[in-house]
Amino acid sequence: MTALLDETRLSKNHRLVYEIVQEQGYGRHLPMSELYELARTRRPGIGFTTVYRALTRLRDLGMVSEITLPGADSAYYEAAGPEHAHFRCTECGTIDNVKFSLPSDLSTRVASDLGAHVTDSVVTLLGRCRACSTASVAI
C-alpha cells in the first residue's frame, strides 16, 4: 500500500503530523516533543497523546520511521526513506543518516542459524562527530 493511499485514510490530526514530518525532509530526526510543538503551532488544541498515536500509526503504516538509539533520551522520527543506518555522536547527540545496508546473505544466514524469519535490521554507529572530534583536538 502506498503512502498516498494511506494518507487519504488518515484523520486530520494524523495527516497534520505526517505533513510536518514530510516537510522536515528525509534525514531530519525529530524527537516527539519537537513534533508536538510544531503540531501545536498549527493546531493549538492538539494533544500530546494525539501526536504520539499519530506517529505510532504512521510508523505502523511505513509512512514514518521511528528511530531508537542507544544513549538517546527518546525515540526520533523521520520521513520514511531508503534503507540506511544512523550515526549518533555520544558527545553532542547529533544524529546523521549513513548510507548502509546489510548484505542479504547475512540476513539469510542469521535467519537460517536461528530458525527464524528476519524482517528488519537496525544498525547504529556511535562515536564522536567531526565537530566534537575537532573541538577536543583544539583544546
Provide the residue ranges of all domains of the chain, joining segments of one domain with +: 1-81, 82-139
Residues 80-125: tens digit of each pLDDT: 888 888 999 999 988 898 998 888 788 889 888 999 988 878 888 9
1-81 carries CATH number 1.10.10.10: yes
Query: What's the CATH fold of domain 82-139?
Result: Dna Ligase; domain 1 (3.30.1490)
Contacts of 84 (CB under 8 A, 6+ apart): 97, 98, 99, 100, 101
Q: Which residue has the cell 494518507?
A: 7
**Alpha carbon 38 to chain centroid, angstroms:** 17
Strand partners, 64: 79
Residues 39-78: tens digit of each pLDDT: 999 999 999 999 999 999 999 998 999 988 777 778 889 9
